[in-house]
Amino acid sequence: MRSRLCCSEAWHVKEENVLTFRNRLNAAREIDPVTLPNCQLIKGIERGSEDIDILPNGVAFISSGLKYPGLKSFAPDKPGEIFLMDLNEEKPRAVELRISRGFDLASFNPHGISTYIDKDDTVYLFVVNHPHQKSTVEVFKFVEDDNSLVHLKTIRHDLLISVNDIVAMGPDSFYATNDHYFSDFILMFLEMFLGLTWSNVVYYSPKEVKEVAAGFYSANGINISPDKKYIYVADILDHKVHVMEKHANWNLTHAKTLQLDTLVDNLSVDPDTGDIWTGCHPNGMKLFYSDPENLPASEVLRIQNILSEEPVVTRVYADDGSVLQGSSVASVHGGKLLIGTVFHRALYCEL
């Protein structure tokens, strides 16, 4: 009798886990389209545009070619790339940036990116990289004259376990999100399935490396407010954007949380308005279970006045996957919008 009860309880727990996991992935959600009139797919970007960072002068960096455990890749054997788009041009186009000799291009697997402009106007590009499914942060210097990246250093650390995104704080310091506690794919899946909140945010500098926020289901996109007082963290499996207050010692404390009804990926901040733009996954199940008859959708949200008591959330764009599959980022500059994806195309729109 006792063994039957144990089996019954175990089945009930398993069933609860399945239902909770499906809810975290928004498995039942379908979306109505929201179209923008002046959009076109960006020529040359065919294998993803997972993250985008735009400099104040309108030059955009785009990471492409991510191979991520459990997700589709259109060219699994081809190295990743960094593209540049100058949004000041009448008809902006994507140009692949040349990377300096000595860097291991064959294993280049770029994920989140962030830029930092130093006092002498040097532009540093920080790139989360997954060579051989490990996590490193690559630091490059952007050479505008010949559209190239000079590799400066590779950063590895025991606390940088499963890095997803990054926001640069200086020429050699940053905050980074670990989207999982484990780096092994099977353990990563179990972590998600069981709903473990072991994901975190880490601060890195040459002098100090430490965990500064924890308790996330899967910390994903990260960015900073224009006044540099707050760090924004997206928890993709909890459908939330967390606002964290940044302190002089680089520690973070929770200020507020915004609940959404979608899987929030990367976060971009409009430096002029402070608005947060984010690429989202309306239904995460479709992202993981690649089905040509049931494509992963795309969704772009604009979050205004997130620090107020009543932030305004607007669905700017939504597509069922027929145009754009698996949106992961949305960035704006001067009335122009770039929408990137985990493994698909990229979209350029004039707002």
Amino acid at 315: R
pLDDT tens-digit readout, 1-27: 545 545 454 444 457 788 999 999 999
305 is in an annotated binding site: no
**Helices (H), ranges, the chain:** 2-24, 185-193, 284-288
Q: What is the pLDDT of residue 245?
A: 98
What percentage of the chain carries pLDDT values higher than 90? 90
Q: Is residue 14 part of a domain?
A: yes
Name the pTM for this structure: 0.95
Q: Is residue 138 part of a domain?
A: yes
**What is the C-alpha to C-alpha distance for residues 27 and 219, in angstroms, rounded to an integer?**
20
Task: Tell me whether strands 110-117 and 123-129 are parallel, antiparallel or unpaired.
Answer: antiparallel
Q: What is the pLDDT of residue 290?
A: 78
Question: For the chain, what is the domain count?
Answer: 1
Mean of the per-residue pLDDT values of the chain: 94
Q: Is residue 192 part of a domain?
A: yes
**What is the C-alpha to C-alpha distance for residues 248 and 211, in angstroms, rounded to an integer?**
15
Count Cβ atoms within 10 A of the Cβ of residue 195 and give its class: 0-12 exposed, 13-18 middle, 19 or more buried.
Answer: middle
Q: Is residue 247 part of a domain?
A: yes
Q: Is residue 1 part of a domain?
A: no
For residue 105, give the CATH number of its domain.
2.120.10.30
Taking the CB of residue 162, how many other CB atoms lie within 10 A of it? 23
265 is in an annotated binding site: yes
Residues forming the active site? 111
113 is in an annotated binding site: yes
Q: In this structure, are residues 231 and 223 in contact, taking their beta carbons and an 8 Å threshold? A: yes
Q: What is the pLDDT of residue 76?
A: 84
pLDDT tens-digit readout, 25-47: 999 999 999 999 999 999 999 99
From edge to edge, which strands make up the β-sheet containing 98-99? 98-99, 148-155, 136-143, 123-129, 110-117
141 bridge partner residues: 124, 150
158 is in an annotated binding site: no
Q: Is residue 40 part of a domain?
A: yes
227 is in an annotated binding site: no
CA atoms within 13 A on the CB side of 309: 0
50 is in an annotated binding site: yes
Count Cβ atoms within 10 A of the Cβ of residue 38 and give its class: 0-12 exposed, 13-18 middle, 19 or more buried.
Answer: exposed
Q: What is the pLDDT of residue 1?
A: 52
Q: Is residue 3 part of a domain?
A: no
Q: What is the pLDDT of residue 14?
A: 59
178 bridge partner residues: 163, 200
Q: What is the pLDDT of residue 75?
A: 83
CA atoms within 13 A on the CB side of 44: 14
Q: Which domain holds residue 124?
A: 8-350
Q: What is the pLDDT of residue 142?
A: 98
32 is in an annotated binding site: no
pLDDT tens-digit readout, 87-127: 999 999 999 999 999 999 999 999 999 999 999 999 999 99
- Closest listed residue to residue 141, CA positions, set 150, 129, 133: 150
Q: What is the mean pLDDT of residues 188-195?
A: 94
pLDDT at 260 over 80: yes
pLDDT tens-digit readout, 75-98: 888 999 999 999 999 999 999 999
